[in-house]
Amino acid sequence: MHAAVASDDSDAMTVTHSTETDVAPDAAPAYPLQRECPYKPSAGTAKLREPGPIIRVRLYNGRTAWLVTGPAEVRALLADPAMSSMATWDDYPVIDESHLHMRASKEMAQEVEGGFPEVLFGVDPPVHTRQRKMLLPSFTNRKVQTLRPIIQRIVDERLDAMLAKPQPADFLADFAAPVPMMVVCLFLGVPYAERDFFEGPMHDLVVPEKAEAAWEEFTVYLERLVDKKMTEPGEGLIDDLIASHVRSGELSRDELVAFAMAILMAGTVTTTSAIALGTLALLDHEGQYEALVADPSLVPGAIEEILRTVNLVEQLSRVATADVEIGGVTIKAGDGILLSCAAANLDPSVTSHPDEFDITRPPTGALAFSYGLHHCMGHNLARLELEVVLRTLADRVPKLRPAVPTAEIPWYFDFTVSRLTSFPVTW
């Protein structure tokens, strides 16, 4: 039997090894929980933690899955090679029926043809190890920091454009959405001027009735772009990968197209929501934005508190490939598992104020970008974008505020990433 020992970045924690019998589906709490507020998980998330770090939950189709809410247990399982990300397992936990028809991520879809084909999010070692090794050098903090002046220019330009508009302006459309799109396009070497060809299809990948057509359109655009770069090299990650891995035969054209699609999606949708929802959270809590304006040294803590609170991806789906004893239960081979970063981020070991938003007391070790084998490679870039955005807003727009009450700001949550659809602001 495979035994997983829960641990954090410092001291290991001994786990009680015992077996919990299965729970009847009708006795397990329903999951997932719909948000009541756009920038934080449901208030019911804390109650899911009460029985212990691992419980059974009931999904939309009546199946049950393990829900892991303890931060040490979540980390241990995310780092455990017995946890598979492959969506082809029979009991891979799909948390909403609509996700079966999405094309946004292997962690959001169960079908073999759904999501990104055999790339990054939905593959296990050794395929994942090989792909990650090719990409990691481009995502190191040293490499990402070279983009700081360019990101600052993009942020300033987009803020200039927003401030030049009549008030109220739409913070989402005018600033929070274009900044990450411009940064990721620059990073990849995708012409931002061609966004009309891919921006619509990219957004439609998460719309079930539009997903198939969007997938085809998006793929055709990226294939043409890669083919052009094969004969007319430019600057960006796509060009670097062609030179270092495609020409040698180590990386296929289809994989490169899938890489580009995955990074475009992951680097724009989530970062846009982090900027929009994080700014809303700052403005919606009395004194928080003002504290940031008065003391820019709070920016790093503000970033971590935003990431802890917003929880862009509330849970990650896995399937056990071997029996695992952890947190007082035995997870059997083939069992579906939901690793709840949102619930883990409420733990006293992570924050002293789980129900409050306070940038002056940043969390320790919050789970914002996964952990272990699938630790998000883009975390350095995302944090840099948030840093530049928050510093610039606090410096240049000290009187920023929502133009309408928070309850009137339109948003939706399809159990993937919470999104605002507009964000009217004044200054």
Tens digits of per-residue pLDDT, 242-283? 999 999 999 999 999 999 999 998 899 999 999 999 999 999
The answer to whether residue 13 scores a pLDDT higher than 80 is: no
3-state per-residue secondary structure call for 373-420? HHCCCCHHHHHHHHHHHHHHHHHHCCCCEECCCHHHCCEECCCCCCEE
The answer to whether residue 375 scores a pLDDT higher than 80 is: yes
Look up residue 349 and give its amino acid. Answer: S
Cβ atoms within 10 Å, residue 43: 12
Q: Give pTM, 2 decimals.
A: 0.90
What is the rounded CA–CA span in Å between residue 190 and residue 262?
Answer: 13
Tens digits of per-residue pLDDT, 148-173? 999 999 999 999 999 999 999 999 99
The answer to whether residue 108 scores a pLDDT higher than 50 is: no
Tens digits of per-residue pLDDT, 391-422? 999 999 999 999 999 999 999 998 989 999 99
Q: How confident is the model at residue 16 (pLDDT cuts 50, 70, 90)?
A: very low
Can you give the pLDDT at residue 299? Answer: 98
Tens digits of per-residue pLDDT, 291-308? 999 999 999 999 999 999
Residue 70 has which token pair?
Answer: 């303890």
Mean pLDDT of the chain: 89
Q: How confident is the model at residue 101 (pLDDT cuts 50, 70, 90)?
A: low
Can you give the pLDDT at residue 204? Answer: 83
CA distances (Å), 319 to each of 23, 116, 194, 322, in order? 18, 18, 39, 9
The answer to whether residue 370 scores a pLDDT higher than 80 is: yes
Average pLDDT over residues 124-145: 94
Can you give the pLDDT at residue 293? Answer: 98
Closest CA to 366 of 300, 317, 411: 300
Percentage of the residues of the chain whose pLDDT score is greater than 70: 90
Average pLDDT over residues 115-134: 81
For 346, left (φ over 0), alpha (ψ -120 to 50), or beta?
alpha
* C-alpha count within 13 angstroms, C-beta hemisphere, residue 256: 29
Can you give the pLDDT at residue 99? Answer: 79
Average pLDDT over residues 121-127: 88
Q: How confident is the model at residue 286 (pLDDT cuts 50, 70, 90)?
A: very high
Cβ atoms within 10 Å, residue 139: 18
Can you give the pLDDT at residue 319? Answer: 97
Can you give the pLDDT at residue 259? Answer: 93
Cβ(50)–Cβ(347) below 8 Å:
no
The answer to whether residue 98 scores a pLDDT higher than 70 is: yes
Cβ(220)–Cβ(247) below 8 Å:
no
| Cβ-Cβ contacts under 8 Å for 285 (sequence gap 6 or more) | 357, 358
Can you give the pLDDT at residue 252? Answer: 92
What is the rounded CA–CA span in Å between residue 5 and residue 248?
Answer: 40
The residue assigned the tokens 């247990």 is 73
Tens digits of per-residue pLDDT, 73-82? 999 999 999 9
Per DSSP, the three-state class of 222 is helix
Cβ(217)–Cβ(196) below 8 Å:
no
Can you give the pLDDT at residue 103? Answer: 53
What is the rounded CA–CA span in Å between residue 265 and residue 313?
Answer: 13
Average pLDDT over residues 14-32: 61
Q: Which residue has the higher pLDDT, 105 or 90?
A: 90
Can you give the pLDDT at residue 408? Answer: 97
Can you give the pLDDT at residue 180? Answer: 97
The answer to whether residue 143 scores a pLDDT higher than 50 is: yes
For 189, left (φ over 0), alpha (ψ -120 to 50), or beta?
left
Can you give the pLDDT at residue 7? Answer: 37
Average pLDDT over residues 367-385: 94
Average pLDDT over residues 311-321: 95
Domains recognised in the chain with CATH numbers: 2-426 (1.10.630.10)
Query: In b/e form, how buried is each residue of 240-263, taking b as 16+ CB within 10 angstroms?
Result: bbbeebbeeeebeeebbbbbbbbb
Average pLDDT over residues 301-324: 96
The answer to whether residue 110 scores a pLDDT higher than 60 is: no
